[in-house]
Each structure stands twice: as structure tokens, then as C-alpha cells.
């Protein structure tokens, strides 16, 4: 999705030492692009708390896109499910796909509640289209979104780098499994299977949702699709410095 380009003269969008808090990338002080250190994510001096209209619209759009994607993934999931019939906990290795909306939402919007908002919209769309799990997907969406929210809250919404993305994916899986799936879906499993599933899902969350979500956001930023968001500003700073 392409969003409007921010005003390149806005110096209020940059904090001292090149800390990006909004979408602009150049400073009027010298009339040239600001050469700030860019290492995956430029930490904000203070967290972004207030939501803009474009944040709400983009978060909703992301949720809808992922909700439709879930419908396709659900169908594929049942095709490949026999692959782990001999050891059901191994299914957790591909379950990280359901955590992607929360990680991507957090990395793009970078405001409190973004991960939960995008994940819940995706769950609502999945339920509306038709899901085997019915309304229960809303509980999963809540757990998964909260897991990523915990990860970004640990760093006070100041860091959104690869490490935070991986942590968010892992915590989303842990909360989903420990607070929900162990008791509702897999209550009859032995604890050895439950723990194996937790490990598999956590690994999948870290790699598919964390690493994969981070790579997706970076690709969108480089393509210019996030021009009004900090990730887009970081991509332009990196190009200016190259």
C-alpha cells in the first residue's frame, strides 16, 4: 500500500542524534539528508503514543489483508496436516503464520495497541470469511496480539528492531499456548507433548512471525510503501547514507 509522502522540511520529526519519531528524513539545519546511524531500527527518543488517522486506516487495512491470508492458510494447513500426524505437537512448527499480523502491525504503526489491533481485525475477518475454529479465533487473536504488545512494552515502545520482532513472535506463541491452547485444544495431551508443542510454536513464532514479519516490513519500506511511517523514514535514511 502506498501512503502520502511526509513534508521533507519537518524537523520536528527527527530527534537529536537522528532518532526517528515520525516520517521525515531531512533537516533544514544543513539542507541535506540527516546522516543518522541506521542499524535495522532507529530508536525513538520517546515513544509514539498518539494515533494518527493514517495509523488507524493502515492498521485496519493490514488486518483485512492478513485476515484474507488466514483463510488461504487455513485451507493449506489442512492439506499439509497429515505430515505431522505421527507426532501432532510438530504442527507448532508452522503455526507462526497466525502471529504475523501482530508483529507486522507493531513494526509498522509503532504505537501502543497496534499489534493487538491488527491481530484482532485479522481474526475478525478470518471468522467472517469462515474459519473452522469459529469465534474461538478471537480468543487466539487476543492472546497473540497481547504477546507482541508485551514485547514492545518491555522496551517502552522505543525499539522495533529484529530482536524485538523475534521476541514478540516468541512471546505471542507462548501466551497463545500457555494461556489458551493447552487448556482448550490440547487438554488431553501428555505434558511431554504439551511442552514439545510450546517449543515448536515458540520457534515458529520467532522465525516465521518475528524474522519473517521484520523482513516483510523492511521490504515494504524499501519499496516506498511506508513513506509516512518510521520504517519508511529509516529506509530513506539508509539510502541517503549509502
What is the residue extent of each domain of the chain? 6-32, 52-227
Comparing CA positions, the residue from 188, 158, 48 lying closest to residue 109 is 48
Average pLDDT over residues 83-97: 95
* pLDDT score of 44 more than 80: no
Average pLDDT over residues 40-45: 52
Rounded Cα gap, residues 18 and 22, in angstroms: 11
Comparing CA positions, the residue from 69, 72, 160, 49 lying closest to residue 121 is 69
Local confidence band at 65 (pLDDT 50, 70, 90 cut-offs): very high
Write down the residue that cell numbers 483463510 correspond to. Answer: 71
Collect all residues with Cβ–Cβ distance below 8 Å to 81 and sequence separation of at least 6.
91
* b/e code 191-216 from CB counts within 10 Å (16+ = b): eeebebbbbbbbbbbbebbbbbbbee
Prediction pTM value: 0.82
Average pLDDT over residues 200-226: 97
pLDDT computed for residue 171 by the predictor: 98
Which helix (H) or strand (E) element contains residue 104? helix 100-109
Average pLDDT of the residues of the chain = 85
pLDDT computed for residue 101 by the predictor: 98
Average pLDDT over residues 191-207: 98
3-state secondary structure of 110: coil
Residue range 52-227 forms a domain whose CATH class is mainly alpha
Q: DSSP string spanning 174-231?
A: HHHIIIIIHHHTSTTS-HHHHHHHHHHHHHHIIIIIIIHHHHHHHHHHHTTTTTTSHH
Amino acid at each position: 500500500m502506498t501512503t502520502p509522502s511526509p513534508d521533507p522540511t519537518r524537523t520536528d520529526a527527527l530527534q537529536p542524534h537522528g532518532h526517528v519519531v515520525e516520517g521525515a528524513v531531512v533537516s533544514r539545519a544543513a539542507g541535506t539528508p540527516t546522516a543518522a546511524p541506521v542499524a535495522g531500527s532507529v530508536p525513538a527518543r520517546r515513544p509514539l503514543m498518539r494515533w494518527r488517522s493514517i495509523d488507524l486506516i493502515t492498521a485496519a487495512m493490514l488486518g483485512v489483508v492478513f485476515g484474507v491470508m488466514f483463510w488461504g492458510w487455513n485451507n493449506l494447513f489442512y492439506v499439509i496436516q497429515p505430515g505431522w500426524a505421527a507426532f501432532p505437537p510438530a504442527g507448532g512448527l508452522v503455526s507462526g503464520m497466525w502471529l504475523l499480523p501482530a508483529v507486522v502491525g507493531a513494526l509498522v504503526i509503532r504505537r501502543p495497541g497496534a499489534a493487538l489491533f491488527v491481530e484482532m481485525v485479522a481474526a475478525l475477518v478470518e471468522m467472517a470469511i469462515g474459519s473452522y475454529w469459529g469465534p474461538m479465533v478471537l480468543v487466539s487473536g487476543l492472546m497473540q496480539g497481547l504477546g507482541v504488545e508485551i514485547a514492545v512494552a518491555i522496551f517502552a515502545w522505543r525499539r522495533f528492531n529484529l530482536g524485538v520482532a523475534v521476541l514478540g513472535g516468541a512471546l505471542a506463541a507462548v501466551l497463545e499456548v500457555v494461556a489458551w491452547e493447552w487448556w482448550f485444544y490440547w487438554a488431553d495431551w501428555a505434558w511431554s507433548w504439551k511442552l514439545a508443542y510450546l517449543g515448536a510454536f515458540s520457534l515458529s513464532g520467532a522465525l516465521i512471525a518475528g524474522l519473517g514479519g521484520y523482513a516483510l516490513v523492511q521490504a515494504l519500506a524499501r519499496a516506498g510503501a511506508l513513506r509516512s511511517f518510521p520504517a519508511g523514514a529509516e529506509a530513506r535514511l539508509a539510502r541517503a547514507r549509502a
